[in-house]
Amino acid sequence: MHTFAYVRPTTVAEAVAILDAGGRDARVLAGGTDLVIRLRDGSATPTTVIDLKRIADLRPGVREEGGRLTISATTVMTDVAADPLVRRHFPALAEAAAVVGSVQIRNRATLGGNVCNASPAADTATPLLVFDATVVAEGPGGTRRIAIDDFFVRSGVTTLQRGELVTAIELPIPAVATGSAHVRRTRRRGHDLASVTLSVRVDALGVTRFAYGSVGPRPVLAVDDTGVLADPAVPAEARSAILERMFADASPSPRSMRASPAYRLAMLRVLGARALRSAIEQLAAGSD
């Protein structure tokens, strides 16, 4: 393995200063489930690796405050999936965290690492998009709040700037009743990134938000505010025209080893219809 300096700062300010000084040669280490593999295979060759685990202000955890949930960037998937507040207000996020990798991976993999790694197949990206999350970043210029839809650029690339690290993810608690679901398609059970990931959220005002990943360079958000998709009484033909519009931005790569574009596009529609049904059922059950 390529050699690098390994540092364990104890404050966010210290970490930001090291990250800023190192520029492209410095990399943050959270759970290491993506980074350590890249260090081993030589696709990442930083000169400095900055471990976040000793920073008291980045302690893992979820808190509710001012009408929103704040999830520390270092919170691992196991804890996101089990958290009662996440499960109550953002079920699709809990479902997504619960299917990442394996038990061992989920005990290490952090929410911050999943979004910063910016894989088009990242499981938590799509629920964060449907729930309108905000990424909180700390950098040399202070705190910056980035709407999650403005965060992803393409695989491995985000709009984080030099010296910035993600400290938390914020989620506005919905003001009206909602139902949501996260689904995905993998080649096999177990440790595999998905060929398609999809999350949906419907609310009592009739707004439906879909987000899908692994079918293009970055996850995509599509919103229907006509009320048609959220209404199960609307005939199938009227719904399918809108569904087609929602999925229009899918552009799977023909070079992927996981699945062909035709298969992914077909699965996107199957998963979309399935997830929408369960989100509508959840909304109806919650409104009883």
Ligand X SMILES: Cc1cc2nc3c(=O)[nH]c(=O)nc-3n(C[C@H](O)[C@H](O)[C@H](O)COP(=O)(O)OP(=O)(O)OC[C@H]3O[C@@H](n4cnc5c(N)ncnc54)[C@H](O)[C@@H]3O)c2cc1C
Report the interface residues with ligand X, using CB under 6 A: 27-35, 37, 73, 100-101, 105, 108-110, 112-114, 116-117, 122-123, 165-166, 191, 193
Contact 86, 75 (CB under 8 A): no
Give the distance, in angstroms, between the CA of residue 160 and the centroid of all CA atoms in the same chain: 15
Q: 114 or 278, CB closer to ligand X?
A: 114
Residues 198, 71, 193, CA angle at the centre, nearest 5°? 35
Contacts of 171 (CB under 8 A, 6+ apart): 68, 69, 70, 71, 89, 90, 93, 128, 131, 132, 133, 134
**Of 12 and 283, which CB lies nearer to ligand X in the complex structure?**
12
Residue number, 31 or 91, with CB nearest to ligand X: 31
**Which residue number, 206 or 216, has a Cβ lying nearer to ligand X?**
216
Task: Give the shortest CB-178-to-ligand X separation in angstroms.
Answer: 23
Q: How far is the CB of 165 from ligand X (least distance, A)?
A: 4
Query: Minimum Å distance from CB 281 to ligand X?
Result: 25
CB closer to ligand X, 29 vs 86: 29
Q: Which residue's CB is nearer to ligand X, number 28 or number 243?
A: 28
Smallest separation, CB 10 to ligand X (Å): 15
Q: Are 229 and 239 in contact (CB under 8 A)?
A: yes
Q: What is the CA radius of gyration of the chain?
A: 19
Chain residue at closest Cβ approach to ligand X: 113
Phi then psi for residue 155, to 5 deg, are -50, 120
- Token readout for 24 is 């492209």
Min separation Cβ 44 and ligand X, Å:
7
| Sign of torsion over alpha carbons 50, 44, 107, 125 | positive
Burial class (CB in 10 A: 0-12, 13-18, 19+), 17: middle
CB of 283 to ligand X, least distance (A): 26
